[in-house]
Each structure stands twice: as C-alpha cells, then as structure tokens.
Amino acid sequence: MIAIIIDDLGQQRDYSLAVTRLPGPVACSVLPHTPWAAQVSAAATASGKEVMLHLPLQAMDISRLAGVGEISLDNSRQELQQILAADLASVPNAVGVNNHMGSLITRHPGHMAWLMSEIAAYQHLFFVDSYTTAQSIAGDMAADYGIPVTRRNIFLDNQSGEDQLMYEYRRLLSLARKQGSALAIGHPYPETTAFLQRVLPHLPDQGIRLVSVAELIAYQQALQPAKVGPGESAGL
C-alpha cells in the first residue's frame, strides 16, 4: 500500500482545489493562515480526503522563513502552544500534521518534546515527519509521546519534469512492494496533479492500494512488536 500527501495547499486557489479532486484518498496538507486554507480544507473534506496542517518549522537557513505561523527555536513553550493552536484553527478539519521545512528545529530535542506534547494533547492528530533532514528526531519524539506517526519515504517532484516524476513514482511503488508500504510527498504543481490524475487509477492493476495516511500508519504500527515496559517480560 502507498499513501500520498500533497503539501503547500492554500496559497493558490485553483492549483490547491485541483488536488482535492484527485482520485482516491490523497491527503491534502494545508499551510496555515493562507488565503484559501478554509476553502481548500472544506473541499478536501467533502471529497473524503484527509486534511493536514502543513506546519511551518524553522529551517537551517534562518534567512528563509517557513511562512506565517512558523515555530522557531526563539519561541518559548507558551508561544509554541499558542502558535500551534492558531495554526490548527486556520486549517479546519485537520486530522494530522506534517512539517513544512524544519531542517533546523526538527533536530532539537527540547522544542520537539514541547511540540509533540502539544500535538498529543489534541488526541485526534497523527504526525508525519516530512524528513527534510537526516538528523530529524521529530518522528521518534512523536512516537515517544504516543502519537500515531510515520515518515516520508519519497519526494515526488523535488525536480521538475515528467521523466523525474515517473522515476520517483516507480521508486515509490518498488519500495511499497519491498517493505509493504511507502509514503510520498508532492506539491500542487499542475504537472504533478496531471501526472497523478493519470497514473493513480491504474494502481489496482499493479497490485498496489492507495490508502489514507491514517490507514498506512495503522498498518505499519500493527507490524511493530509491542513495546515492553520497564519491569515487564515479553510473552508472559
């Protein structure tokens, strides 16, 4: 099985709404406080798609702002809590969170502990580590706080062009066949949307099932061995 998230929605109306019309449960990750966030969230929900908050987090290049609603190392615990609450309020119906940028802050245990504690408090949210740096600990911290979590495997369209899209898409399917599941992230470029509109209906013929992110996480967690707490013995 595979899951696909399309990031950066809400900034441009037509490109964002086109994603909500893609076949199957393609997740729609919406940037907070963008002009079309509420409309895109409503359209995605009406289409039976998951809405996610595309949470802006501080990047290594501190001159590059991740956008309105960014969480940075300069934020106190209270500020982080307030920013996250405002970001979620601006993206109605969000059932999950994934990071926008964040190559700096996702490697910091203190702020990631604060963030995951706040996400866990909402009780209905899953987390996807967009994995913008190999040093990210965001996914591990989410698991520590009991949040349903997974990590991005493939970026579909970091490089433009039909050949590159097909190359990354085939990598996605190959990885799913090898390990049982895989997750890709793309962006609302017209080229990407048109490509997915064309290829997704053929997945059943290829022995691949497109599922929601929540279903992918549930599948992956079911394969993991149960955690044994301190002082307990496995199998007893």
The structure tokens listed for 91 are 């993206």
With a pLDDT cut of 90, the percent of the chain lying above it is: 89
pLDDT digits (tens, 9 = 90+) for 181-230: 999 999 999 999 999 999 999 999 999 999 999 999 999 999 886 554 44
Q: How many C-beta atoms surround the C-beta of residue 5 within 10 A?
A: 24
pLDDT at position 227 is 52
The structure tokens listed for 220 are 């992956």
What CA–CA distance (Å, rounded) separates 115 from 121?
A: 10
Mean pLDDT over residues 120-136, rounded?
Answer: 96
pLDDT at position 160 is 85
pLDDT digits (tens, 9 = 90+) for 2-48: 999 999 999 999 999 999 999 999 999 999 999 999 999 999 999 99
Kindly report the average pLDDT of the chain as a whole number. Answer: 93
pLDDT at position 234 is 37
Residue 235 lies in a domain: no
pLDDT at position 233 is 40
What CA–CA distance (Å, rounded) separates 58 from 192?
A: 26
The structure tokens listed for 85 are 């609450």
Number of domains composing the chain? 1
pLDDT at position 232 is 41
Q: Which three-class secondary structure state does DSSP give residue 227? A: coil
pTM above 0.85, yes or no: yes
Residue 174 lies in a domain: yes
C-beta pairs of 218-225 under 8 Å, 24+ apart in sequence: 218/148, 219/1, 219/180, 219/181, 220/150, 220/181, 221/148, 223/180
Residue 28 lies in a domain: yes
CATH number, position 25? 3.20.20.370
Question: What range does the domain containing 210 cover?
Answer: 2-223
Residue 116 lies in a domain: yes
Residue 229 lies in a domain: no
Mean pLDDT over residues 79-99, rounded?
Answer: 98
Answer yes or no: is pLDDT of 100 > 70.
Answer: yes
pLDDT at position 125 is 98
**Letter string b/e over residues 188-223, b meaning 16 or more CB atoms within 10 A of that residue's CB:** bbeebbebbeebbeebeeeebebbbbbbbbeebeee
Residue 231 lies in a domain: no
Answer yes or no: is pLDDT of 51 > 80.
Answer: yes
